[in-house]
């Protein structure tokens, strides 16, 4: 395993509950994952990232951790997990975990003790507990809102006749925020990362990495401007990552730290990155951007510039377990019934990030072209759905978390022999991996080819971007590598084709030889030019 260089790393995110179930309880598990490791290895990825797999009551499906030093029994055992690490490493695949430092589960022993060991007990200081406002504290201490909706404060036990106390939870009420000013909290998480690094885990994706500290005085949100607030992105957080980085660097090979950082600007994001803090951070503009050559080109160049300044590789992802699947965002086109165009756009998108410098993150199921699933409200599980105000039409994140379809002939598309934890739409058998595997024109086959091409051609993952711009509907990206000029052209238009001038076409996402002088709607091409 080489941990020194992480440039060009392709990581496959596994939402393990939905990956593969081995024992019929409807929830994915380690044994199921091991059975499917060939699928992951065949794709040609360098690493997997597992969503949190610690014991958890599941209020936020693993992002509410009750013990950071063990494996959720739904997922398996520590011994199985150790074997999983070995199985990944023997295939030259790194394994990244998710660490959740901003909050714990309300079933974590610390919170249970804080609640149960009498007013003013020692555990209370590990959380953020404040007197309420108004008569006898009947209103929350300030106006902060939970990311999932509703107030970010819930009642905390209070002595009789005393002002009502409240505890802070920036997410669900079953996810109390920790007080990072306490040494015990800091030491705990240093122990946590060491524990897993000692077990040969290659790195962590840090959940809500911009969280942790809250501004002293807990100022109302309404007193802040420009999206900077008292609940996120406080200066104290950087010292934590400097310490974590020292720990990560003390291992051989050094372990990786990747941040889920929502900062209010790219300048603020920059402060998390570099030799002494995080190795990289996700660029979330890619999960939200409109379908447009100019928007894509602008976001690519901004992310590349930022990472150049920080001296870290850029990170690219179109989908994850929190966002609408990008098939539904980009490939199912309102008003256009042409599925071929949607599919071509989808393939082109993948070849576009395959040609960008830095690291790519895939989200399980995107290689099958899975759309966002329709789920009846009665089957929904996401706390973000349940905390919405009545007027909201936000349905939460279950639609991107539906289990994987593996085989077209089996019950539940081969995911489970029992009842899947979220219903699998009946037509998902059409997406089954076994069908796509034997179809050369499938999305799955395309992903494999595109990644193999990236591996064979260093201009794709390493070469610097010399120029990137949009001309009308066409994105044009130029890279120089080893004395050769390479171009990536992508047509974001739905109806017009564009001439390709000069250069030699080396690959096109339609995989068609026809129209070789044109870029079809939705098509991408790689070209090279001799530099003399
Ligand atoms: C992150 C995770 C999300 C989770 C939240 C709270 O945003 O990606 O799934 O609900 O943190 O931990
Ligand atoms: Ca299971």
Mean pLDDT confidence for 382-393: 94
Nearest CA owner, ligand 1 atom 6: 63
Kindly state the percentage of the chain with pLDDT values over 90.
90
Cβ neighbours of 181 (radius 10 Å)? 14
* pLDDT recorded at residue 1: 32
Nearest CA owner, ligand 1 atom 2: 207
Q: State yes or no: cis peptide before 515, omega within 30 of 0.
A: no
pLDDT of 2 > 60? The answer is: no
Among all bound ligands, the one having the nearest atom to the CA of 62 is 1
Residue with the larger pLDDT of the pair 516 and 113: 113
Q: Are strands 10-14 and 47-50 parallel, antiparallel or unpaired?
A: parallel
172-196 pLDDT tens trace: 999 999 999 999 999 999 999 999 9
41-83 pLDDT tens trace: 999 999 999 999 999 999 999 999 999 999 999 999 999 999 9
Q: Are 89 and 46 in contact (CB under 8 A)?
A: no
Active site residue 374: no
Name which of 181, 88, 53 is nearest 127 in CA terms. Answer: 181
Which atom in ligand 1 lies closest to the alpha carbon of residue 63? 12
Give the contacts of 29 (CB within 8 A, at least 6 positions apart): 16, 20, 21, 22, 23, 74, 75, 76
User: Which of 291-305, 353-367, 502-516 shows the lowest mean pLDDT across its residues?
Assistant: 502-516
* 269/262 Cα distance (integer angstroms): 8
How many residues are there in the chain?
Answer: 532
Q: How confident is the model at residue 464 (pLDDT cuts 50, 70, 90)?
A: confident
User: Nearest-5° angle of CA 228, CA 233, CA 236?
Assistant: 130
* pLDDT recorded at residue 532: 52
Catalytically annotated residue among 207, 366, 473, 523: 207
Averaged confidence pLDDT in the chain: 95
420-446 pLDDT tens trace: 999 999 999 999 999 999 999 999 999
Secondary structure class of 184 (helix, strand, coil): helix
* pLDDT recorded at residue 226: 64
* pLDDT recorded at residue 498: 95
* pLDDT recorded at residue 515: 63
Report the greatest alpha carbon distance in the chain.
85
Ligand 1 pocket, residues with Cβ under 6 angstroms: 60, 63, 100, 171, 207-208, 260, 321-322
Secondary structure class of 467 (helix, strand, coil): strand
């Amino acid at each position: 395993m080489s941990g020194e260089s992480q440039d060009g790393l392709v990581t496959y995110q596994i939402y393990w509950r939905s990956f593969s179930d081995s024992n019929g309880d409807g929830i994915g598990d380690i044994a199921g994952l091991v059975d499917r490791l060939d699928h992951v290895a065949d794709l040609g990825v360098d690493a997997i990232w597992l969503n949190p797999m610690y014991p958890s009551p599941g209020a936020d499906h693993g992002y509410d951790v009750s013990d950071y030093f063990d494996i959720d029994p739904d997922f398996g055992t520590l011994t199985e997990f150790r074997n999983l690490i070995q199985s990944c490493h023997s295939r030259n695949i790194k394994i990244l975990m998710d660490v959740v430092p901003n909050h714990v589960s309300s079933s974590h022993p610390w919170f249970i003790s804080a609640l149960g060991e009498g007013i003013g007990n020692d555990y209370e200081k590990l959380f953020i507990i404040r007197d309420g406002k108004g008569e006898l504290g009947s209103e929350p201490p300030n106006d902060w809102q939970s990311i999932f909706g509703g107030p970010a404060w819930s009642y905390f036990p209070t002595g009789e006749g005393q002002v009502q106390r409240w505890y802070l939870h920036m997410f669900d009420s079953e996810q109390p925020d920790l007080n990072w000013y306490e040494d015990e909290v800091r030491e705990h998480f240093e122990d946590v990362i060491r524990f897993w690094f000692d077990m040969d885990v290659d790195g962590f994706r840090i959940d809500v990495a911009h969280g942790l500290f809250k501004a002293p005085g807990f100022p109302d949100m309404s007193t802040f401007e420009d999206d900077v607030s008292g609940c996120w992105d406080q200066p104290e957080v950087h010292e934590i990552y400097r310490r974590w980085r020292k720990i990560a660097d003390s291992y051989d090979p050094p372990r990786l730290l990747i941040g889920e950082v929502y900062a209010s600007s790219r300048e603020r994001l920059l402060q998390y990155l570099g030799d002494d803090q995080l190795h990289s951070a996700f660029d979330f503009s890619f999960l939200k951007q409109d379908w447009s050559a100019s928007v894509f080109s602008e976001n690519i160049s901004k992310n590349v510039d930022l990472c150049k300044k920080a001296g870290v590789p850029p990170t690219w992802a179109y989908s994850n377990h929190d966002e609408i699947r990008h098939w539904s965002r980009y490939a199912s086109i309102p008003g256009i019934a042409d599925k071929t165009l949607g599919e071509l756009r989808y393939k082109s998108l993948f070849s576009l990030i395959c040609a960008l410098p830095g690291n790519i993150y895939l989200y399980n199921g995107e290689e099958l072209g899975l759309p966002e699933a329709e789920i009846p409200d009665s089957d929904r599980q996401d706390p973000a759905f349940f905390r919405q105000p009545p007027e909201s039409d936000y349905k939460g994140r279950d639609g991107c978390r539906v289990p994987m379809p593996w085989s077209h002939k089996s019950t539940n598309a081969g995911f489970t022999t029992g009842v899947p934890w979220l219903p699998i739409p009946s037509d998902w058998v059409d997406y089954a991996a076994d069908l796509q595997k034997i179809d050369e024109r499938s999305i799955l086959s395309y992903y494999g080819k595109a990644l193999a091409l990236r591996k064979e051609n260093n201009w794709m993952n390493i070469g610097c971007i010399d120029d990137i711009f949009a001309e009308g509907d066409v994105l044009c990206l130029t890279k120089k590598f080893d004395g050769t000029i390479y171009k990536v052209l992508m047509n974001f238009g739905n109806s017009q084709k564009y001439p390709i001038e000069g250069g030699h076409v080396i690959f096109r996402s339609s995989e068609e030889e026809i129209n070789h002088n044109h870029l079809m709607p939705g098509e991408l091409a790689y070209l090279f030019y001799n530099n003399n």
